[in-house]
């Protein structure tokens, strides 16, 4: 009777799983500052280090319709918007690198960057 897996096959599979686990541990341990970048009509108007935000900080980028952005406790979000649908407000808190929220009528984009390696980086 022929075996499905030989001893060398099992050793190779175990080596691949261990290598993948070590790579995930290495990449997840890479840390860096997380910053939120606020852009209006393609121009960056403000950068905020989310790792240093502890209290509530309100940002009014002066857009039409008006938007109010709040950074607090390591996250950032659209608090209110003068647009009719308010989709940007419903996106909630942004805190992971790669998180993005957009208010199209106001031309405002919030993007979280940094924090080392993540799935969005690759």
pLDDT per residue over 52-71, tens digit each? Answer: 988 899 999 999 999 999 99
CATH code of the region 34-114? 2.60.320.10
Domain spans of the chain, in order of start: 1-30, 34-114
pLDDT mean across residues, the chain: 86
Residue predicted with more confidence, 24 or 12: 12
* Nearest of 83, 91, 85 to residue 64 by alpha carbon: 83
Span between the terminal Cα atoms of the chain, in Å:
45
Q: What is the pLDDT of residue 122?
A: 45
Backbone torsions φ then ψ of 105, nearest 5 degrees = -60, -35
The 8-class DSSP code of residue 62 comes to -
- The DSSP H or E segment spanning 16 is helix 7-29
Q: Which token pair is 116?
A: 């080392």
């Amino acid at each position: 009777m022929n075996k499905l897996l030989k001893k060398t096959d099992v050793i190779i599979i175990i080596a691949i799983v261990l290598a993948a686990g070590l790579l995930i541990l290495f990449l997840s341990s890479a840390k860096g500052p997380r910053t939120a970048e606020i852009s209006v009509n393609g121009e960056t108007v403000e950068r905020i280090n989310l790792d240093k935000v502890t209290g509530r900080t309100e940002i009014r980028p002066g857009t039409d319709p008006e938007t109010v952005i709040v950074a607090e406790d390591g996250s950032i979000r659209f608090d209110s918007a003068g647009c009719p649908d308010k989709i940007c407000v419903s996106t909630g808190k942004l805190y992971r690198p790669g998180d993005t929220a957009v208010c199209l009528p106001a031309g405002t984009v919030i993007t979280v960057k940094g924090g080392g390696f993540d799935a969005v980086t690759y």
